Amino acid sequence: MKSLKKYPVSRRNFIKVSAATTAGVSMLSLGGCNIEKMPVPMKRKFGNFDFEVTTLALGGQASLQWTPDDVDPVPIILKAFELGINYFDTSNLYADSQLNYNKAFKQLDLIPGEENYNEELRKSIWLTSKTCMRWGKPGWVQREGVTNWSNGMPDVKCAVDDIRRSLTQIFGDNNGWYPEGAYLDMVLIHTLHTKQEIDVLYEGLETPLDPEGIFGALVALRDLRDGTNLTGMNPKNEKLIKHIGFSGHQDPPVMMEMIQRDEFGILEGMLVAINANDKTKYSMQNNVIPVAAAKGMGIIAMKVFADAAMYHKQPTWSQAPADVYRKVGSPELPSRPLIEYSLTTPGVHTAIIGIGQIDEDPMKCQLVQNFYAAQIEPNGMPESERERIEKQANEVKAKSNYFQIEKVGLTPPQNLAVDSGKLTWATAFAGDNAISHYEIVINGEMKGQVEHKPQILKSNPFVFETEIKDGDKVLVISVDKSGNKAEAVLT
């Protein structure tokens, strides 16, 4: 594939294009869909990785999964490459999504072992797939609260099977074979829901590893990452993945626990639902995102449009081509500010957005318009504008975030305890406002404050040194940045 020269646009013209995107009318001719006149894509440092990720990433759903009869998904992928997008998302659960990448990758010379394999291009992109298998080895027994999804494939019995299936679909023959040198940049434990799932995922790490028994997905994925065979699931000592992470749509406290139990340095990326209606539910941006950012994880936003529930469909999971949204925003809720909101949420590096269709008219082309909307710095939106967009999204589609649990508001600190003159507690959970600090009150007297910082590990609680006698009434009070309080009593 030919490399296209990029022509940066001036700030004045960028503002004109952005305004046109918001209004949905053409104020600046781009010469059809001529991407040679588009700017070099904005990039951000991707967590602790040695990688600069484009602010817009291509999602693996929408028409790549639920393909309408009149849409060819392969040109969507090819056009994303032409635009300079370098993060690509897919999953074993996304119907033919991985097979569509295979078709595109053949045209892009991205199949290892082929005569014209473009290794330099392969190294320049980040390819992520996902698994919903919680176990790392076949033979597991179903547990309450733990769901394993194999997309109906009888040969997928554990997470390792899912990785090999991704490789055979994206790079191989879709029948079990994949070429030497094929790899995924990251695999995500997908759509984490419960603490019981976390217990399973960490088996073999938090507990002794028994290769003859059963164990969770993380220890097996670590073998595929490191080229080791501690589990017996990687007998050829292959290195099939480079990084491991997880995704979550629903429960910030569960996602925080997933991170806080990682004493092993395994988790490096997080895909998280975050949009302008986040605070109508249990907030991701005030809870799990700061923890992932403090750990240095690469953070990818998803559900920017709430899986199109902010537009034409009911607030339920998409299941068919009719659920794919094929317009650019709406007069009531333009797409640009929604994209900007997600990308200016502190900690977020890129946003995956599924594409319903591309078009020769740039004002109708979702990929072009999303591209322009994503050209924003991390601090490119003042708080007052974020609040305005929150209000607008809430007024237009208040119930869009069907995938998130209900909001609770600021909670007290957890697990309050005392040992050898040290008062300890685990993090509180935030409501609409970020947590500021904790107040320590003994027998009605303020003894001090401890600044709130994201708690990265469960083994590293908050600490306050003080003398506590039998009969003392001890309170630790969480305080958010608006002055709301919630107290925990030492018992």
Cα distance between residue 203 and residue 207, in whole Å:
6
Average pLDDT over every residue of 30-56: 82
> How confident is the model at residue 4, as a pLDDT?
34
> How confident is the model at residue 176, as a pLDDT?
95
Shared domain for 426 and 288, answered yes or no, is no
Confidence of residue 3 (pLDDT cuts 50, 70, 90): very low
Q: What's at 413, amino acid-wise?
A: P
**Which range (67-81, 137-151, 214-228, 347-361) has the least confidence?**
137-151
Shared domain for 316 and 461, answered yes or no, is no
Shared domain for 379 and 437, answered yes or no, is no
The yes-or-no verdict on residue 1 having pLDDT over 70 is: no
Domain that holds residue 244: 11-396
Number of domains in the chain: 2
Q: Among residues 366, 396, 426, which one ends one of the domains?
A: 396
The yes-or-no verdict on residue 17 having pLDDT over 80 is: no
Shared domain for 111 and 176, answered yes or no, is yes
Shared domain for 134 and 165, answered yes or no, is yes
Shared domain for 391 and 421, answered yes or no, is no
Q: pTM to 2 decimals?
A: 0.93
Q: What would the pLDDT profile of 202-256 be if each residue is shown by its tens digit?
A: 999 999 999 999 999 999 999 999 999 999 999 999 999 999 999 999 999 999 9
> How confident is the model at residue 333, as a pLDDT?
97
Q: What would the pLDDT profile of 404-419 be if each residue is shown by its tens digit?
A: 999 999 999 999 999 8
Number of other residues whose CB lies within 10 A of the CB of residue 425: 24
The yes-or-no verdict on residue 388 having pLDDT over 70 is: yes
Shared domain for 26 and 63, answered yes or no, is yes
Shared domain for 381 and 332, answered yes or no, is yes
The yes-or-no verdict on residue 145 having pLDDT over 60 is: yes
DSSP strand E in 74-180: where? 87-89, 126-131
> How confident is the model at residue 151, as a pLDDT?
77
- Structural domain contains residue 5: no
Q: Among residues 396, 423, 451, which one ends one of the domains?
A: 396
CA proximity to 419, closest of 467, 351, 363: 467
Q: What would the pLDDT profile of 270-286 be if each residue is shown by its tens digit?
A: 999 999 999 999 999 99
Average pLDDT over every residue of 426-447: 97
Q: What's at 389, amino acid-wise?
A: I
Shared domain for 322 and 444, answered yes or no, is no
The yes-or-no verdict on residue 23 having pLDDT over 90 is: no
Confidence of residue 491 (pLDDT cuts 50, 70, 90): confident
> How confident is the model at residue 34, as a pLDDT?
53
Q: What's at 51, amino acid-wise?
A: F
The yes-or-no verdict on residue 19 having pLDDT over 50 is: no
Read off the tokens for 290.
């700061």
Average pLDDT over every residue of 427-439: 98
Q: What would the pLDDT profile of 332-348 be if each residue is shown by its tens digit?
A: 999 999 999 999 999 99
> How confident is the model at residue 36, as a pLDDT?
58
The yes-or-no verdict on residue 18 having pLDDT over 50 is: no
**Which range (35-39, 151-155, 244-248) has the least confidence?**
35-39
CATH number at residue 382: 3.20.20.100
- Structural domain contains residue 468: yes
Shared domain for 350 and 479, answered yes or no, is no
- Structural domain contains residue 2: no
> How confident is the model at residue 21, as a pLDDT?
38
CATH number at residue 472: 2.60.40
159-170 and 217-226 helices cross at what angle (nearest 10)? 50
Cα distance between residue 229 and residue 223, in whole Å:
6
Indicate the SS3 state at residue 323.
helix
Q: What would the pLDDT profile of 83-103 be if each residue is shown by its tens digit?
A: 999 999 999 999 999 999 999
Shared domain for 345 and 457, answered yes or no, is no
Mean pLDDT, the chain, as a whole number?
Answer: 92
Shared domain for 354 and 453, answered yes or no, is no
Pick 316 or 150 by higher pLDDT.
316
Give me the helices (H) in 5-140, please: 11-23, 73-83, 97-107, 119-124
- Structural domain contains residue 401: no
Confidence of residue 124 (pLDDT cuts 50, 70, 90): very high
> How confident is the model at residue 155, as a pLDDT?
86
Pick 1 or 117 by higher pLDDT.
117
